Amino acid sequence: MVLYLFSLIICSYSVRAQDAVSTTEQLIADIFEQYAAESEETIDYDSFFEDLMFCSENPINLNLATREELEKLPFLSDIQIENIQSYVYENGSMQTIYELQLIEGLDMTDIRRMLPFIKIGEAGNLTPKIYWNDLLKYGKNELFFRLDKGIETKEGYRFLPEEDQNSASTNSVNYLGNDLYNSLRYNYHYKDRIKFGMTAEKDAGEQFWGSTHRGYDFYSFHAQLNNFGKFKTIVIGDFRANFGQGLVLHPEFGMGKSSYVLNVTPRSSGLKKFSSTDESNFFRGGGATIRFKKFDVSVFYSNKMIDGDTVNGSFSSNITTGYHRTLDELSKKHTVNQQIVGGNATYTNMNLQVGITAVHTELDNNLIPEKSVYNYFYFEGKRQTTGGVYYRYRWKKLNLFGESAMTDNGSIATLNGFYFSPTSTVSLVVLQRYYSPEYDTFYASSFSETSRINNENGLYLGAEVRPFRKWKLAAYADSYRFPWPKYGVDAPSIGRDYLFQADFAPKRNIAMYWRFKFEEKQTNLSASGVVMPIVVPLQKTSLRYQLTYSYENFTFKNVLEGNLSRQGNAAWTYGVIASQDVSYAFKTIPLKLNFRYQFFDAIDYENRFYSYEKDVLYAFSIPMYFGLGNRYYLNLQYDLNKRLSLWFKIAQTVYADDRETLSSGNETISGNRKTDVRLLVKFEF
């Protein structure tokens, strides 16, 4: 066992030194595949990627690691994080990496994942001084330039001969710009102490230089300082604020239902820089966190313009797509001013954490949604105040957690649960949630069946068992209820989910899993001749097998998945998807390639699939597959030297179900295929 662990550690540290980027990207791919398997939401994954990349270059010292630092490793559960910190607290500083196997709840798979991102360093609380010469000598500058283009011409780019693309008289439904996507990103960081940078982006269809717009459509700047005297964090420019369980404030991607059955609560990272291309889900202003022994006190302020369909001092919705491609979309750009002021106070010791968060939002236009049954209780007005209290408490092998929040209209949301690990091979989690139909706030994100934190009650049970050395079993059951109608369901409804996954890793270079999932919810009957809405059950069952194995410089991944779906008493419909991935890293030249061929046959929309695929750096692709066809892509990375790297991707989807057009509206493509190319250049200095 010791020799095995020793060889594992040597190999893993060699991986860190030689190819930390590839290791990080593979972990990210594994994690995203779990969370994105059934997701229709556009989620910003940049923070996960940046955190893991930073940790691979600046490993976390386990003897000094805070909970927030360990939470940057999203494959660790709350129980594992608690156990790591408890081990150091109870036994003193770790002396060797071998001690990881003594921590309850960590198996060899977990340790292998951790090794590229952690180290065993000296204990101590001294924060080293920063000198100007060190900033210039050891600071890291990164510049990224990305260009995307679709090969086939879309309807929005077809202009009449007499119309000029740069003319304001162009039809308001046509795209004003060309079909190139372009982003420019600059980042600087000195260890984890100083970070700053800027981001600029132009979406495809947006005008870069013309009569309606000049320059990039979106600009972002950020600066962050960590551990300066009493200041734990200072952020200026664009930032995010994540506190508690997310019922009041958590604009980042939070944990949800996945095969990581124990990871059900969002990570509370406090104030944090924002460097993504997401044009809506961030704050613009500044904030600071001050440390008073065991208390952290944070205050922040944001003042930014948001998009809205504003008419006569009111708007019906906040538009978050970030697209400004047509005159109609441009007319809604930055029409509403949003000011946010908030604060948080958190007390933390080894076994207890208690915090309180308050946020006040002020708009200069009235938000008045177009009323329908499902959004009857949605927020309307110019101002809102929300507050919440959250807690974590550890008692022996039991970890309690929760948060309760209230808005100024008296509506409440509460989430409570516990983790329990009776033995080192068994871990359990129970989570209860109640979100009032009247509870509706701007930046909440927590465990939920839907993307909106309101109108939901539910109970979640999860378990992870390691019965044998090379096996891991994970399962969850979730039962939920919507006491008020929601979008697509014109009556109160119920639902339930079940998942079971078995992972088997017979060797270090071979891993596989089998996953079974069943879901039943209610939906409006979509049948011809139906006048009044009829709510019927919608059932979906899926089974997935995945095999990953490597040989020398080759890595292979095989996936086979099938599902069955039925609405009401209709006949079952099916979906099948199969893919083959091949990755190869050349020995003699600094070139890596990834290739995938994928076949899909989803007879009905409810049989659709979502599949994560590798992409260029800082780009994340999770295409949806519906219909009959195949998709293939080639992804290349070439390092010209230590400072300059190139990424290139070409991907094509070809449909074989006799369709003559793809997509709709301005995105319509004539024919049965869609081809995209991407290029990214990275320069370090």
In terms of Cα–Cα distance, which of 622, 579, 614 is closest to 593?
Answer: 614
Residue 647, classed as helix, strand or coil, is strand
Task: Determine phi and psi for 257, rounding to 5 degrees.
Answer: -75, 130
Residue with tokens 């939901």: 456
Which pair of structure tokens corresponds to residue 527? 């049948």
Beta-carbon neighbour count of residue 136 at 10 Å? Answer: 9
**With contact defined as beta carbons under 8 Å apart, do 235 and 223 qualify?**
yes
Does any domain span residue 295? no
Length of the chain: 685
Question: Taking phi first (over 0 means left), then psi (-120 to 50 degrees means alpha), and beta for anything else, what does residue 69 get?
Answer: alpha
Give the pLDDT confidence score for residue 252 in this predicted structure. 75
Rounded Cα distance between 628 and 656, Å, is 5
Which of 106, 110, 97 is closest to 61 using CA atoms?
A: 97
Q: Given phi > 0 = left and psi -120 to 50 = alpha, else beta, which region is 658?
A: left
Closest Cα to residue 316, out of 368, 239, 240, 394? 368
State how far the Cα of 79 lies from the Cα of 417, in Å rounded to an integer: 13
Closest CA to 622 of 610, 608, 606: 610
Q: What is the pTM of this model?
A: 0.89
Number of domains in the chain: 1
pLDDT in the model for residue 529: 54
3-class secondary structure, 243: coil
- What's the pLDDT score for residue 560? 97
Q: Is residue 241 part of a domain?
A: no
Contact 554, 583 (CB under 8 A): yes
Contacts of 186 (CB under 8 A, 6+ apart): 141, 142, 143, 144, 197, 198, 199
Dist CA 480 CA 495 (whole Å):
5
CB 100 within 8 A of CB 4: no
Closest of 146, 155, 233 to residue 186, by C-alpha: 146
Tokens matching residue 101:
């196997």
- Strands (DSSP E) found in 324-452: 336-348, 352-367, 381-395, 398-407, 412-423, 426-435
Residue 113: what residue type?
R
Among all chains, which residue has been given the structure tokens 């839907």? 450
pLDDT for 582: 96
366 within a domain of the structure (yes/no): no
Determine the structural domain holding residue 24 and report its residue range. Answer: 2-127
Segments in the chain below pLDDT 50: 1-19, 160-170
User: Strand pairing partners for 418?
Assistant: 400, 430
Q: Residue 438: name the closest of 456, 406, 411, 458 by CA.
A: 411
403 vs 407: CA distance, rounded Å: 14
Q: Which of 287-293's residues contact partners 24+ apart within 8 Å by CB, and which partners?
A: 287/233, 287/234, 287/235, 287/239, 287/241, 288/231, 288/233, 288/234, 288/235, 289/231, 289/232, 289/233, 289/234, 290/230, 290/231, 290/232, 291/230, 291/231, 291/232, 292/230
As beta bridge partners, residue 427 has 464
Retrieve residue 358's tokens: 């308050």
Looking at residue 78, what is its pLDDT? 84
Q: What is the pLDDT of residue 503?
A: 94
Tokens of 20: 């930390």
Count Cβ neighbours within 10 Å for each residue of 347-373 and write b for 16 or more, e otherwise: ebeeeebebbbbbebebebebeeeeee
Structural domain contains residue 306: no
Helix, strand, coil percentages (3-state) for the chain, rounded to 5, are 15, 50, 35
User: Could you tell me the CA-to-CA distances from 635 to 16, 298, 453, 610, 614 in Å, in that order?
Assistant: 22, 43, 37, 19, 7
Q: Mapping DSSP to helix (H, G, I), strand (E, B) and coil, where does residue 526 land?
A: coil
For residues 407 and 386, give the distance between their C-alpha atoms in angstroms, rounded to a whole number.
4
Residue 180 lies in a domain: no
Tell me, yes or no, whether 266 lies in a domain: no
- 116 assigned to some structural domain: yes
Helices (H), 362-419: none
- Per-residue confidence (pLDDT) for residue 231, from 0 to 100: 94
Amino acid at residue number 295 = F
Which residues, including other chains, have CB under 8 Å from residue 634's CB and lie 6 or more apart?
A: 593, 594, 595, 649, 650, 651
In a domain, 93, yes or no: yes
- Residue 166's CB is within 10 A of a number of other CB atoms, namely 13
Position 272 scores a pLDDT of: 93
Distance between CA atoms of residues 525 and 537, nearest Å? 9
pLDDT of residue 168: 45
User: Coil, strand or helix: which one is 296?
Assistant: strand
199 neighbors 184 (Cβ within 8 angstroms): yes
